[in-house]
Amino acid sequence: QAAPLPRPFRTYPEEVGETSAGTPVASSDKSILQEEDDDVPPSFQEVLVELARLEAKLGGVRNFKGRPRIERKVKACDFRRAYTDFEYVYLTVLGLAKLQVHGEEILELNNGRNFTENPGVRLLERRTGMTMHADREGAEHLLQSAPALLLQAYAAACKDPAGLYGFFCEAFDRNADPCLEGRVGRILEYLRLRSQDCCPQHGPPPEDLAVGPLPADADAEVIVGEHLRVFTNECVWRWAQERGLDYNTAGADISHEASDFAVLCNAATFEAALLARGLAQDVAGRHWEIQLDDGSWSSYGPAQNDALERARRSGAATCEVRVRNWTYEVDFQRMVQLNVKTCKERPIRCAAWASANPSGTGCLALDDIQAAIARFVELRTLAEAPTAGQ
């Protein structure tokens, strides 16, 4: 039987004063770090301490007095022109450590929109010095998995013949895109080259939940097919979580026409997800918002918004959504969200997307979307929509 999935931003051995390898970080080693890094979890402190031993070999410090520190987001051109490899690697490790510490807060504020409209991304930039494309599918999973991927890569490096110097050279590249996706992409590549399972007992790799680039002349079937790939992976991940399985095991075990999986992944739920994400040019996509204590409104994340839209379009009176470790029941008649554990209620509202196509991946006629979905049902790639009474 597979081990239960760990919680996002799970507790590490540092909570009992040890590193991930079980070796306490010596006080003499910790003196290498700066006072403002006291909130860095010891697993990440260990990485920074080992990195500091290679400071001179990686170019030293050029832009700071003492150790590098997160002061602002550094542009790609500045990293390439003015920063050393040591500074870039140090800021990346420190940024991912800060994401581990502040991840819950960042996720809570993330509304799945671009930087100018997303308080979660703005907080990510302030805390970690990195930005991201939160309006792309898979963004929430990336926020949850990035810190653990760094620690996994570091653990692999400790056993690698190339040693830690090879790790700091190969898994980090200051000439690459410095957004969160770009930095984590290098770490994933490092793991793959060493035949490591990039997500053991975690969710899917980021690319499984992200719509890939499409040709400018792609037809409806190609566009819908790429969205179906992502939607199916999302359903596999949800199915796995409900059963305490890891993503890879679940993917191997699922029959896509099995009744329990088809409840999640079928022609009706897929069409509702596409419409909720604004892919159809002649159907207004909608987003859901919740009222905070100060009276302001905050958008649900992409996964929760899709669940609410599917429920609304199916005529359901209520819908259950999960946000990290909390379970909420949304009542569409009273337009409130109820915290199942605390019984606290908050008002909700639904509005049309500011853009007809918030995901930026293409805009299709509804008839073309439905024809493509019917084709995938015919090919037995997607289960039929359930009939009344099923």
Q: What pLDDT score was predicted for residue 7?
A: 32
What gap in Å lies between CA 290 and CA 272, rounded to an integer? 21
Global model pTM greater than 0.85: no
pLDDT band at 359 (very low <50, low <70, confident <90, very high): very low
What gap in Å lies between CA 267 and CA 369, rounded to an integer? 11
Provide the residue count of the chain: 390
List, by residue range, all CATH 3.30.720.50 domains of the chain: 286-352
Give yes or no for residue 3 having a pLDDT over 80: no
pLDDT band at 87 (very low <50, low <70, confident <90, very high): very high
What gap in Å lies between CA 147 and CA 154, rounded to an integer? 11
Q: What is the pLDDT of residues 302-317, one digit of tens each?
A: 678 777 877 777 678 8
Average pLDDT, the chain: 79
Strand partners, 321: 328
Q: What is the CATH number of domain 286-352?
A: 3.30.720.50
Q: Tell me which residue has tokens 């099995």.
A: 258
Given a contact cutoff of 8 angstroms between Cβ atoms, the answer to whether 172 and 59 are in contact is: no
The mean pLDDT value for 132-151 works out to 86
pLDDT band at 181 (very low <50, low <70, confident <90, very high): very high
Tokens of 308: 């609410």
The full 3-state SS of the chain, as one line of letters, equals: CCCCCCCCCCCCHHHHCCCCCCCCCCHHHHCCCCHHHCCCCHHHHHHHHHHHCCCHHHCCCCCCCCCCCCCCCCCHHHHHHHCCHHHHHHHHHHHHHHHHHHHHHHHHHCCCCCHHHCHHHHHHHHHHCCCCCCCCCCHHHHHHHHHHHHHHHHHHHHCCCCHHHHHHHHCCCCCCCCCHHHHHHHHHHHHHHCCCCCCCCCCCCHHHHCCCCCCCCCCHHHHHHHHHHHHHHHHHHHHHHHHCCCHHHHHHHCCCCCHHHHCCCEHHHHHHHHHHCCCECCCCCEEEEEECCCCCEEECCHHHHHHHHHHHHHCCCEEEEEECCEEEEEECCCCEEEECCCCCEEEEEEEECCCCCCCCCCCECHHHHHHHHHHHHHCCCCECCCCCCC
What gap in Å lies between CA 255 and CA 357, rounded to an integer? 32
List the one residue out of 344, 339, 337, 345 whose CA is nearest residue 326.
339
